[in-house]
Amino acid sequence: MAETTAASGRTPDSTRRSERSRRAIFDAALALVGEVGFARTTVEGIAARAGVGKQTIYRWWPSKAAVLLDAYLDLAAGAAEDGEAALPDTGDLAADLRTVLRATVDELNDPRYEAPTRALTAEGVVDPVLGARFVERLLEPQLELYARRLRAAQDAGDVRPDVDPRVALELFVGPLTHRWLLRTRPLTHAYADELVGYALHGIAARP
């Protein structure tokens, strides 16, 4: 196969074929983990569904967890192309947070993301090594975008200077994730808006 020459020097054709295989492997991996869960997803199953040899997968990834994580990062990167490299900064912190949390609600409710996100998150809950890689490669970079927006709001005088942005962001992300993962109540735009109001202004009565 053309891919065997990948390490040495690629022709345009072999690069195209490699990219096509990579795409097929990612699609197969995400579909499979969404359907049967992490435990029952195998490299053999991914290869069969993608129409490639098992060795093609092992040439690029050491394990099923590695393929799945890359497939998921690729999916998340695709979602981020809609302009999420930074959180919006219109100068109105509450409005910007509502925009971001509403978009997150839509993404979590999108079937394309829901099944693989649940499968990988659940596996990370019980497997500390996979969990740590998921957090390091996917979650913390996302959380850093919130921290950066909150720091800008501090500079603008909209967030109290004594607040730690890395902790404060969990007031937004934590409840949303909790509601989604445990399915306690519907995850809606109205909820996202309510959450922003509560987290920014607190629930205590003011003197």
Two structure tokens written together for 107 = 């993404």
- Contact between 203 and its own copies by CB under 8 A: the answer reads yes
Among 119, 152, 187, 192, contact with its own copies (rule: CB under 8 A): 119
DSSP 8-state assignment for residue 8: T
Nearer to its own copies, 37 or 88 (CB): 37
Among 6, 79, 121, 137, contact with its own copies (rule: CB under 8 A): 121
Q: CA angle, 190 as apex, 185 and 194 as ends, to 5°?
A: 90
Question: Going residue by residue from 45 to 84, which x/- string records binding to its own copies, judged by CB under 8 A?
Answer: ----------------------------------------
Q: Nearest 5°: phi and psi at 21? A: -65, -45
Is residue 40 exposed (0-12), middle (13-18) or buried (19+ Cβ within 10 Å)?
exposed
CA distances from 74 to 39, 121, 151, 192 (A): 21, 16, 28, 26
Interaction site with its own copies (CB under 8 A): 37, 39-40, 93, 118-119, 121-126, 128, 131-132, 134-135, 139-140, 143, 150, 157-160, 163-164, 166-168, 170-171, 173-179, 181-185, 191, 194-195, 198-206
